[in-house]
Amino acid sequence: MGDTTMALMQGTVDLLILRALQAESSAHGYTVSRFVHARTDGVLALEDAALYQALHRLEARGLIESEWGRSNNGRRAKFYRLTAPGRKQLRIAASTWRAYAAAMFSVLDGSEGSR
């Protein structure tokens, strides 16, 4: 890890969690953590403490909801799920990010002749 890890920009933790829950439909914190780790090849340093803090925050805001259940290994675990406002928020945040990133890309590696 070390040099290749990047501190997360503010607001991105929430987006990552929402995206993970969209992929997994119903997941506990551990799954979310592994999902982000796997998708980013460990580049984004999502600390577990920050993850749980964000999960509780998102739940308080009504973007996700939770339920206690049994995990595959038979342990008691808290499962999180996206709510309708959460799905909407994910759509909005994702499109904002895409536009933002596209704008950044076009500045960083824009080919001179196109505009």
Partner 1 sequence: MNFRRLFRFTSRSSDDVRRDLDDEISFHIETRADALRSEGMSPGDARAQARREFGQRADAAMISSGLAVERRRSFRRLASELQQDTTYGIRLLARSPGFALACVVTLAVGIGGTTAVFSVVNAAFLAPPPIAAAGEVVRVQLGESRTSSAVFEELRTRNTVFATMAAISNARFALGEPGSTTPLMGERVTTTYFSMLGVAATLGRTFDPADVRDDLVVLGERAWRVHFNGDAAVVGRRIRLDRRTYEVIGVMPRGFRGLAAPGWVRDCWIPLPRATTPGGSAATFEVAGRLRPGIDASDAAAALRLTAQQLRTDRPELPESLTAVRLLPVGGINAFRGVGALVPVFMFIALLALVATFVLSIGCANIAGLLLGRAVARRHELALRAALGAARTRLIRQLLTESLLLAGLGGAAGVLLASWLTTLVPVAVAQLNFPFALEVQIDWRVLAFTSAVSLVTAILFGLAPARHAVRVDLGAVLRDGSSSARRQRLRQALVVCQVAACATLLVWGLLFTRSLGNVTSMEPGFDASGVLLADFTFDATPDSSADAVEAQIVEMHRRASALPFVESVGGAWAVPLSLTSRESFSVFEADAPDGNGRVVNANRLTPGWFETVRIPLLTGRDFTWNDRLGSPEVAIVNRTLAERFWNGRALGKRLRFIGVRNIPHEVEIVGVVGDSKYWTIGEAIEPVLYLAARQGTIADGLSLHVRTSNIADTSRRLSEDFARITGDGHIELRPMADAVAVAMMPARVGALVTTAFAAVAVLLATMGIYALISFSVAQRTREIGVRKALGASPMGIVRLIVSQSLLLVAAGLSLGILIGVAGGHVLANLTVGVSPGDPLTIAIAVSLVLSAALLSSSIPALRAARADPLEALRQD
* Residue from 2, 7, 41, 49 in contact with partner 1 (CB under 8 A): 49
Q: Beta-carbon neighbour count of residue 74 at 10 Å? A: 7
Minimum gap (Å) between residue 7 Cβ and partner 1:
15
Select from 39, 56, 81, 87 the one that contacts partner 1 (CB under 8 A).
56
For residue 83 the two structure tokens come to 């709510």
Footprint of partner 1 on 64-103 (CB under 8 A): 71, 73, 75-78, 85, 92, 95-96, 99-100, 102-103
Exposure on the CB side of residue 67, measured as CA atoms within 13 A: 9
Q: How many residues make up the chain in this entry?
A: 115
Chain-centroid distance, C-alpha 9? 12
**Are the C-beta atoms of residues 89 and 63 closer than 8 Å to each other?**
yes
Write out the residues near partner 1 by the rule CB under 8 A.
11, 28-30, 33, 47-49, 52-53, 56-57, 59-62, 71, 73, 75-78, 85, 92, 95-96, 99-100, 102-103
